[in-house]
Chains A and B, each alone.
Chain A
Amino acid sequence: MAATKGEKLLEVSGLSMDFGGLRAIDNIGFELFAGEIVALIGPNGAGKTTVFNCITGIYEPTMGDVTIHPPGGTCRRINGMKPNSITSLGMARTFQNIRLFPAMTVLENVMIGRHCRTGSTIIDAILSSRRSRREEKETVDKSYRLLQKVGLADVADEFSRNLSYGAQRRLEIARALATDPFLLLLDEPAAGMNPQETHELDELIVRIRAEEQVAILLIEHDMKLVMNISDRIYVMEYGKEIAQGTPREIKENPKVIEAYLGEEVHA
């Protein structure tokens, strides 16, 4: 799945989403290239999570196009596709309000991510066929390796509900990576983390980009993290896109400063 740097992966244009009379996002357009970390920022309620939900098929957008160009694959318009189909095409996400499987172990949580990359049927499982055994082993090995990567290997057999907040967020990242994505969408991965954890997350994200060869689309309120690791930033307010550019450009953009009342951006 390795993409050559600079290749376009995702293109969103004219994206709008209405909830009844409320236009939560309005004519949003952006694109994302291989190897990039792109941040989507904006005040609370700006519509960032809604953008994610539209891209990943949780919502069907009211208007606009979402097109993906999987590396080595053909380009496809994915509006209205089911979330699981979109995931198997190579986009995986984490959730702002952590959504793990609490009564399953940490390892099993990651193993679910392998579901769309394996194909053993119920019959395979009952007969413990060769295919099923091979896939099980691969699934366990790959999942465990991802746990090592995010630093959760020593709690692999714990129930995921017993993990700390920060650990749960890292587990979500590992689970998303298990689906072999070319694009990883992180919704506020640092929310609820202490400065130390945030700092480690910062390194983790950069490391994941390099080692797993994924591009990353990031929603985050922690400006230090965003400014540190993003290549480009899009800013939203009240559902509209108000600015885009490199971290430096964004920091100096008067509209952005106004949207944030001039406080956090200088952090």
Chain B
Amino acid sequence: MAHFKRSLGIGLWFMFLTLPLMVVRVNTISREVEWRWYNLAWAGLCAFVIAWFWQFSIERRTARRAQVAANPHPAVEKLSLVQRLADDPVLSRRLLAVAAVVAIIFPWLVSTGQNFYHVNVMVSALIFVVLGLGLNITVGLAGLLDLGYIAFFAVGAYTYALLSKNFDLGFWTCLPLGGLMSMLFGVILGFPILRLRGDYLAIVTLGFASITKIVLENWDTLFGGAAGIANIPRPEFFGMALDSRQKSVYTYYIVLALVAVTIFVTNRLKNSRAGRAWMALREDEIASVAMGVDMARTKLSAYALGAFWAGLVGVVFAAHNNFINPDSFTFMDSAMILAMVVLGGMGSILGVIIAALALKLLPEYLRAFAEYRMLVFGAVMVLMMIFRPQGLINNMRRKYEYDTAQGGKDNGGN
């Protein structure tokens, strides 16, 4: 009943607020004032329903919190659907196989003749998947808030552009070089700043990204200034000539392979000595160093490895676009990649992939709503932070196999 009253109040309040905007319209031709009262009813009704739903959700969440607080030691935490899927090896393997097959035949499904628009869209999206997964190592696993991740992407892209332009080096030579170059930048930058924490680190990385962009924009002789660098060669395929559709499909498979490798590596690292040390540092720095984790080295490795992926995929980006300029490497892109990691769920591979695809593909296909994009984006962010702060998918922890026999008393193993 209290909900009803409050929702009613909110509904009325919105009717009042939106009155001048939604109801009154001056028809300039017939010089009449139109009164669109039905709009008022809509505004009131919508506000009422949303307010009701909102209160209902908040209440449910509070109830759940209280329940958790009352029972601090639950026998089992409630498992999410994904967690249950992951615990079922047969099913998850099948799903993975299906996803892989769909990904592989995708270009043949959506491209006919010379129409390969969807393939190109997918290449851009997958590039961001790799970026998301790379940043996931730095932010999600190691907890180093990096607001300038796009700078490493730029380093990779410009490495390829310059090497191919000035030294005629091919794509496949430049791919590792771009990655290593970014990594080098990561290490050089990381040494002095990784002692900083949280906000301070975020600000310095933000500054680094801005500096990178300014240098790229103003050093015309080397980087081509704001105009950028054009005519970057596409990936070569054993010296064969490909038409533009084939080139796109070929690039698609290259990025897809990169995605697969990134997933594989992240997955291996997550449950390794290094990955656990990253997570420990994320959880509690003092406890980690007191347990023997070398903070400087561990942080640096996470930072450099994240930069490596950005550089790698930066090379692909330059090759795919034929053309790069500093406008592709703005703060908005850094923020977008960070949003992928946060929305997907820090440290969760699947979550980051889903979030990256959603954030890149939805705006592309919902062009009709392009004007509302940032609005929706902001609303989604706020709602997520309130109702699902841990992200779409919880970071799942592996259950290790252990020999329960040794000490006798136990039954907890698998």
Find chain B residues with CB under 8 A from A33 CB: none
Over the window 70-93 of chain B, the binary record of Cβ atoms lying under 8 Å from chain A Cβ atoms (1 yes, 0 no) is: 001110010000000000000000
- B284–A105 touching, CB < 8 Å: no
**Number of residue pairs spanning A and B whose beta carbons lie under 8 angstroms apart:** 153
Interface-forming stretch among B31-39, B114-122, B165-173, B400-408? B400-408
Identify whether the interface residues of B are mostly helix, strand, loop, or mixed: loop
Find chain A residues with CB under 8 A from B413 CB: 156
Interface-forming stretch among B227-235, B239-247, B292-300, B370-378? B292-300
- A163–B273 touching, CB < 8 Å: no
Find chain B residues with CB under 8 A from A175 CB: 291
A237 and B400 alpha carbons, distance in the complex (Å): 46
Given contacts A56-B290, A99-B286, A101-B287, contact A144 B273 (CB under 8 A): no
B288 contacts chain A at the CB level, 8 A cutoff: yes
Over the window 262-301 of chain B, the binary record of Cβ atoms lying under 8 Å from chain A Cβ atoms (1 yes, 0 no) is: 0001001100111111011001101111111111000001
B30 contacts chain A at the CB level, 8 A cutoff: no
A242 and B284 alpha carbons, distance in the complex (Å): 35
Given contacts A118-B273, A120-B273, contact A162 B74 (CB under 8 A): yes
- A148–B288 touching, CB < 8 Å: no
Find chain A residues with CB under 8 A from B404 CB: 144, 153
Find chain B residues with CB under 8 A from A164 CB: 72-73
Find chain B residues with CB under 8 A from A108 CB: 276, 279, 397
Find chain B residues with CB under 8 A from A145 CB: 406-407
Among A56, A101, A104, A158: residue with most chain B CB under 10 A: A101
Expressed in whole angstroms, the minimum distance between the Cβ of B67 and any Cβ of chain A is: 14
Find chain A residues with CB under 8 A from B290 CB: 56, 58, 83-84, 87, 92-93, 95, 99
Expressed in whole angstroms, the minimum distance between the Cβ of B291 and any Cβ of chain A is: 5
- A115–B410 touching, CB < 8 Å: no
A113 contacts chain B at the CB level, 8 A cutoff: yes
Given contacts A144-B403, A148-B406, A154-B410, contact A122 B301 (CB under 8 A): yes
A164 and B73 alpha carbons, distance in the complex (Å): 6
Task: Specify which of A58, A87, A88, A148 is in contact with B286 (CB 8 Å cutoff).
Answer: A58
Given contacts A128-B268, A140-B401, contact A82 B283 (CB under 8 A): no
Identify whether the interface residues of A are mostly helix, strand, loop, or mixed: helix
Task: Specify which of A93, A115, A126 is in contact with B293 (CB 8 Å cutoff).
Answer: A115
Q: Which of B166-218 contact A (CB under 8 A)?
A: none
Find chain A residues with CB under 8 A from B293 CB: 84, 112, 115-116
Task: Specify which of B72, B272, B287, B305 is in contact with A99 (CB 8 Å cutoff).
Answer: B287
B111 contacts chain A at the CB level, 8 A cutoff: no
- A84–B273 touching, CB < 8 Å: no
Given contacts A104-B276, A108-B397, A112-B280, contact A148 B409 (CB under 8 A): yes
- A87–B291 touching, CB < 8 Å: yes
Find chain B residues with CB under 8 A from A202 CB: none
Given contacts A108-B397, A115-B293, A144-B406, 7 further A-B contacts (CB under 8 A): A84-B295, A93-B290, A105-B397, A108-B279, A115-B277, A118-B273, A132-B272
Could you give 14 example pairs across A and B, Cβ below 8 Å?
A87-B292, A93-B290, A103-B397, A104-B397, A107-B400, A107-B402, A115-B273, A115-B291, A125-B269, A136-B272, A141-B402, A148-B407, A162-B72, A179-B291
